[in-house]
Amino acid sequence: MTTMKNAVVLVTGANRGLGRALVEAALAAGARRVYAGARNPDQLAASVARDPERVVPLALDITNESSLAAAASRAPDVTMLFNNAGVVSSHGVLTSSTARIMQDFATNVFGTLAATKAFLPALQRAGAAGGASVVNVLSVVSLASMPALGGYSASKAAAASVTEALRTDLANANIRVHGVFAGAMDTDMTRDMQMPKARPEDVARAIFDGVERGLDDIFPDPMSQGAFATWRSDPKELARQLASM
C-alpha cells in the first residue's frame, strides 16, 4: 500500500482540468510537496495561492527534452509522478491529417514516456528509500477505439501498452506503475461533447484512492467502471458501444 505521508508529488498539465484537481487531491491527501507542472506556469497562481508552502510551480512541456531536463533538476525529490498532460489533436483516423495524429502520439505516448524517463533518477532514489509511483492517465478508449476520436484512441491504447511495459521494467526498482482508464470528465477537453461527465475533483480523489490501495488499473468514475465491466465480459461489445458515440 502506498502512503501519501511524505510523498513528493509531481503533476504534469496541472494548470487546468484533471491536473488542477490532482494537485488539490494531493494536498488533501497529505503530500509533503506538490510540484505543479505547466507549459505556462503563470496559470498556476491559484494553485500556489492555495498552499504556498507546499505547491511549487514548475515550467514543464512534456514534448520538449530541455524543458523536461530543467524541470527534473529543479524537482530532484519527486516520489510520485502523475503523467496527466494530454491532448486531443486528431479526430477520425481517415479525416485527420497524419500531422494531427502524430501530435496526439507526440504528447500522449512519447511525451508521457519522456517525462517518466526525465524523472526516473528521482523515482529510483525514492524507490530505493522506500517506494515510488508513476501514475499514467489513460482513458476508456485505451481499451477499445472510439472511432470519432480514432487517432486519440490509438495514442491512448499505445500509452496503455507503454504503461504495462514500464510496470515490469520498474518493478525491481520498487516503483509502482498505475494506469488510470478514465471515462468522460467535465474539462476543456470535452467541452464540445454532449454526454454524462464526471467531475474532475471526484475523479482525482478516486485516483488517489486507487494508488493508495495499490491497484495496477484504476477505473475512477462510473463510465470507466461500466466500460471495464463490459470489456471484461465482451470486448467487442465495448467497441460497439464506443463506435456509436
Ligand X SMILES: NC(=O)c1ccc[n+]([C@@H]2O[C@H](COP(=O)([O-])OP(=O)(O)OC[C@H]3O[C@@H](n4cnc5c(N)ncnc54)[C@H](OP(=O)(O)O)[C@@H]3O)[C@@H](O)[C@H]2O)c1
Q: How far is the CB of 186 from ligand X (least distance, A)?
A: 7
Amino acid residing at 221: D
Q: Which is nearer to ligand X, 84 or 163 (CB)?
A: 84
User: Which residues are paired to 36 by β-bridges?
Assistant: 11, 57
Question: Among all chains, which residue has been given the C-alpha cell 467497441?
Answer: 239
Contacting residue, 4, 7, 9, 19, with ligand X by CB under 6 A: 19
DSSP-based three-state secondary structure for 218: strand
39 near ligand X, judged by CB under 6 A = yes
Binding status of residue 135 toward ligand X by CB under 6 A: no
CB of 185 to ligand X, least distance (A): 4
Among 79, 90, 139, 230, binds ligand X (CB under 6 A): 139
Among 123, 184, 204, 218, binds ligand X (CB under 6 A): 184
Q: What track of x and - describes contact with ligand X for positions 77 through 106 (by CB under 6 A)?
A: -------xxxx-------------------
Q: Is 42 helix (H, G, I), strand (E, B) or coil?
A: helix
Q: Which residues pair with 9 in a beta bridge?
A: 34, 80
Q: Are 180 and 210 in contact (CB under 8 A)?
A: yes
Letter string b/e over residues 69-94, b meaning 16 or more CB atoms within 10 A of that residue's CB: eebbeebeebbbbbbbbbbbbbbebe
CA distance 146 to 154: 9
By CB under 6 A, tell whether 136 contacts ligand X.
Answer: no
Q: Please state, in angstroms and rounded to a whole number, the distance separating the CA atoms of residues 48 and 108.
A: 26
Task: Tell me which stretch binds ligand X (CB under 6 A): 95-103, 165-173, 179-187, 210-218.
Answer: 179-187
- Which residue stretch of 23-31, 95-103, 186-194, 228-236 sits at the interface with ligand X (rule: CB under 6 A)? 186-194
Are 170 and 3 spatial neighbours (Cβ–Cβ below 8 Å)? no
The set of cell numbers assigned to 98 is: 497524419
Here's the x/- map for ligand X, 200-239, by CB under 6 A: it reads as ----------------------------------------
Q: How far is the CB of 67 from ligand X (least distance, A)?
A: 8
- Count, residues near ligand X per rule CB under 6 A: 28
Cell numbers of 57, please? 510551480
Q: Is 17 in the site for ligand X (CB under 6 A)?
A: yes
Q: For ligand X, which is the closer residue by CB, 189 or 215?
A: 189
